Amino acid sequence: MPAFIRSSKFRTILGILIGCVWVFHGLYSKICNGIPRHRLIVGRILGEGIADRATLFIGVMEMSLGIWVFSGRQRRSCALVQTLAIISMNALEILLAKDLLISAPGMVVLNLAFFSIIWYWAILPKHQKFMG
């Protein structure tokens, strides 16, 4: 495996990418309602009466996850929380709002790829230097 792929610089890049995914979906998709389908899914799962507040809360929590990733602290715990959050959200979406999803199988495949990136970031050694 190339040294760069094992370096702290690469780990930092992965952390920025992972954090940006959470911040984007929290801020743009949920808080700013940039992807209205997200609010519809929340309404279907939790009820229309609280959909707006719940979507806002979920957006704030997703942004918090992104900030946690950016901090680089407790990476394995952070990866576990991300994994549990995504599995929970995906399971609820598939069980209760499948018709609102673009592609349930596509979402699962995309999230499996995301998990591999998250966990690689989480287990990379902290202080490995890149020589090159």
Listed in sequence order, the residues at least 6 apart from 94 whose beta carbon sits closer than 8 Å to its beta carbon are 101, 104, 107, 108
pLDDT of 9 reads: 87
Angle (CA) 42 47 52, round 5° = 55
Tokens linked to 93:
């979406």
Q: For residues 123 and 38, what is the distance between their CA atoms, to the nearest angstrom?
A: 31
pLDDT of 3 reads: 74
This prediction's pTM: 0.89
pLDDT beneath 70: ranges in the chain: 1, 126-132
CA of residue 3 relative to chain centroid, distance:
27
